[in-house]
Amino acid sequence: MVDAFRLPDLRRRILITFGLLVAFRFIAHIPLPGVNPVTLKSLFDNNALLGMLDMFSGGALRNFSVAAMGVYPYITATIILQLMQTGYSALQDFLRKGKPAKTKSIGLATG
């Protein structure tokens, strides 16, 4: 790890990645205006499915944050489709058409 910081290009890339992760984690705690946090907390406490979706989002969905409204729905849908294809053979056949077709079909299904 120490050798990675001796190369200026690699050091810059590592620091940019770390900075983006830190910034994203701060953004994940900024709630959307107009959302009642007490009602939202009770909704997530009473629904196990929403709790699991919140786990996929790293807790940003529970806060109903600005970051949760961006790319999280697409990521969550992709993860759920990949988990479902192990137990649902029709979906598995639908996604097995090859790499270009798989990418296109997941995009059609999630998007």
Q: For residue 75, what are the contacts with CB-CB under 8 A and spacing of at least 6? A: 56, 57
pLDDT digits (tens, 9 = 90+) for 29-45: 788 888 888 888 888 88
Q: Which residue has the higher pLDDT, 1 or 67?
A: 67
Cα of 40 vs its chain's centroid, Å: 19
Contact call for residues 28 and 65 (beta carbons, < 8 A):
yes
Enumerate the β-bridge partners of residue 65: 31
Q: Which residue has the higher pLDDT, 105 or 52?
A: 52
* pLDDT at residue 110, as a whole number: 58
Q: Which residue has the higher pLDDT, 107 or 84?
A: 84
pLDDT digits (tens, 9 = 90+) for 64-81: 777 777 767 777 777 777
